[in-house]
């Protein structure tokens, strides 16, 4: 009985195998059809639809979309000073967060890669990854509580006669720097791991001071890793809208998109183009700096 049931299925499999045999292009094609189809239709396709909407307008009376090409939304973005402020603020905070994370992450990553024992290394990797196991919202809301005027930060600073930053741009910068730090530590750690210790020894043997070794050997070799990490921190900050909402009153690009998405989809789409353009420019610079050479 069992053999009877199995036999026909086998022959189909055999026939299929025969079809693919000796046809490498067909093999690759069948293997990639699913993922590539998903990427092109599901992802790039929907992105294209979104961007097309940037050229539409909204009928002021009914609020319905007018499907005809117009550059009105882009004109609004350029002409209204408020949008320039918002874009400037978002890019500036993203850059600040990136620089902060790079400065904080480098020593941590260096210690993990070059100094810590194997056991210590494992513990540190877990410690860096641990915050990623808890919800993003929980972390932002904890910061909200800490930064409030009765919060622990003001309580700790009070004896020194100081006052915490409260809610605002500084708070956004602090929270974002905290949130995205692991995304900077891990690429730098991986980059530093790849630098052979013999290069550092050689530099020392040739009489270079530790600072020179760092400047001439370690930094150039690990720089692509820093740039790779910065892509994460920069892009994640650029797109976030919940943190600004919870710890400041300021609008970032994401907030304005969120506010407009249901009343003025075309304007929201036009705004969505801004981070894409900024990110493409950033990636081009990153490629020039060699961030993708080891990927």
Partner 1 sequence: MTKQRTHSARTAWLIVAGLLAFMLLLAGCGSSSDDGGGGKELTKLGKGEGQVDLISWGGYVEPAWSKPFEQKTGCKVNNKVAGTSDEMVQLMRTGQYDGVSASGNATARLVDGGDVDPVNVDLVPNYKTIFSDLKDQPYNTFDGVHYGIPHARGANLLMWNDDDVKPAPTSWDVILDPKKAAEYKGKISAYDDPIYIADAAVYLKAHQPDLGIESPYELNEEQFEAAVNLLKEQRPLVGEYWSDLTKQISAFANGDSEVGTTWQYQYFALLEEGKPMAASPASQGFLPSEGATGWSDTWMISNQAKHPNCMYMWMDWIVSPKVNAEVSEVFGEAPSQSLACDQTADKEFCTKYHADNPGFWKRVYYWETPVADCGNGSSDCKDYNDWVQAWTSIKG
For residue 97, the minimal CB distance to partner 1 (Å) is: 21
Bridge partners for 262 per DSSP = none
- Stretch touching partner 1 by CB under 8 A, among 7-15, 45-53, 121-129, 156-164: 45-53
For residue 53, the minimal CB distance to partner 1 (Å) is: 9
Among 143, 167, 189, 282, binds partner 1 (CB under 8 A): 167
Give ∠ CA 244-229-167 in degrees, rounded to 5.
20
DSSP 3-state of 57: strand
For residue 176, the minimal CB distance to partner 1 (Å) is: 19
Pick 226 or 267: Cβ nearer partner 1? 267
Q: Does residue number 289 form part of the binding site for partner 1 (CB under 8 A)?
A: no
Query: Site map for partner 1, 83-122, x if CB under 8 A?
Result: x-xx------------------------------------
For residue 145, the minimal CB distance to partner 1 (Å) is: 8
Q: Does residue number 135 form part of the binding site for partner 1 (CB under 8 A)?
A: no
Q: Does residue number 269 form part of the binding site for partner 1 (CB under 8 A)?
A: no
Q: What is the DSSP letter of 274?
A: H
Q: Does residue number 293 form part of the binding site for partner 1 (CB under 8 A)?
A: no
User: How many CA atoms lie within 13 Å of 290's alpha carbon, on the beta-carbon side?
Assistant: 8
For residue 35, the minimal CB distance to partner 1 (Å) is: 15
Which single residue is written with the structure tokens 């789409």? 269
Q: What is the DSSP letter of 23?
A: -
Query: Is residue 233 exposed (0-12), middle (13-18) or buried (19+ Cβ within 10 Å)?
Result: buried
For residue 255, the minimal CB distance to partner 1 (Å) is: 8
Report d(CA 47, CA 89) in Å as an integer.
25
For residue 98, the minimal CB distance to partner 1 (Å) is: 24
Q: Does residue number 63 form part of the binding site for partner 1 (CB under 8 A)?
A: yes
Q: Does residue number 79 form part of the binding site for partner 1 (CB under 8 A)?
A: no
What would the two tokens of residue 237 be?
């900050």
Report d(CA 39, CA 55) in Å as an integer.
24
* CB of 274 closer than 8 Å to CB of 135: no
* CB of 180 closer than 8 Å to CB of 174: no
Bridge partners for 66 per DSSP = 57
Among 8, 18, 24, 60, binds partner 1 (CB under 8 A): 60
Instruction: Tell me which H or E stretch contains 152.
Output: helix 152-157
Among 74, 102, 151, 239, binds partner 1 (CB under 8 A): 151
Q: Does residue number 279 form part of the binding site for partner 1 (CB under 8 A)?
A: no
Q: Of 217, 235, 238, nearest to 227 (Cα)?
A: 235
The residue ranges that bind partner 1 (CB under 8 A) are: 44-45, 48-49, 51-52, 55-56, 58, 60-67, 69, 76, 80, 82-83, 85-86, 144-145, 148-151, 166-167, 245-246, 249-251, 256, 259-264
């Amino acid at each position: 009985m069992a053999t009877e049931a199995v036999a026909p299925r086998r022959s189909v499999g055999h026939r299929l195998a025969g079809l693919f045999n000796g046809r490498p292009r067909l093999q690759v094609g069948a293997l990639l059809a699913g993922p590539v189809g998903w990427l092109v239709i599901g992802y790039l396709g929907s992105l294209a639809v979104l961007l097309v909407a940037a050229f539409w307008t909204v009928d002021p009376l009914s609020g319905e979309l007018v499907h005809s090409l117009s550059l009105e939304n882009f004109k609004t973005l350029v002409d209204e000073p408020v949008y320039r402020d918002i874009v400037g603020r978002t890019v500036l905070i993203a850059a600040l967060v990136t620089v902060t994370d790079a400065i904080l992450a480098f020593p941590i990553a260096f210690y993990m890669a070059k100094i810590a024992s194997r056991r210590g290394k494992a513990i540190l990797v877990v410690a860096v990854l641990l915050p990623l196991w808890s919800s993003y919202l929980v972390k932002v809301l904890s910061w909200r509580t800490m930064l409030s005027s009765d919060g622990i930060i003001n309580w700790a600073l009070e004896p020194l006669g100081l006052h915490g930053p409260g809610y605002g741009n500084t708070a956004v910068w602090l929270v974002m720097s905290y949130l995205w730090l692991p995304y900077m530590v891990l690429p730098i750690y991986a980059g530093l791991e790849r630098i052979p210790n013999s290069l550092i020894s050689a530099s020392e043997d040739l009489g270079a001071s530790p600072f020179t070794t760092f400047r001439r050997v370690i930094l150039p070799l690990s720089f692509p890793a820093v740039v790779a990490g910065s892509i994460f921190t920069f892009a994640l900050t650029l797109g976030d809208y919940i943190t600004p909402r919870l710890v400041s009153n300021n609008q970032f690009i994401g907030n304005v998109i969120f506010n407009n998405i249901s009343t003025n989809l075309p304007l929201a789409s036009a705004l969505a183009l801004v981070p894409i353009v900024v990110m493409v420019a950033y990636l081009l610079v990153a490629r020039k700096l060699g961030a993708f050479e080891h990927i």
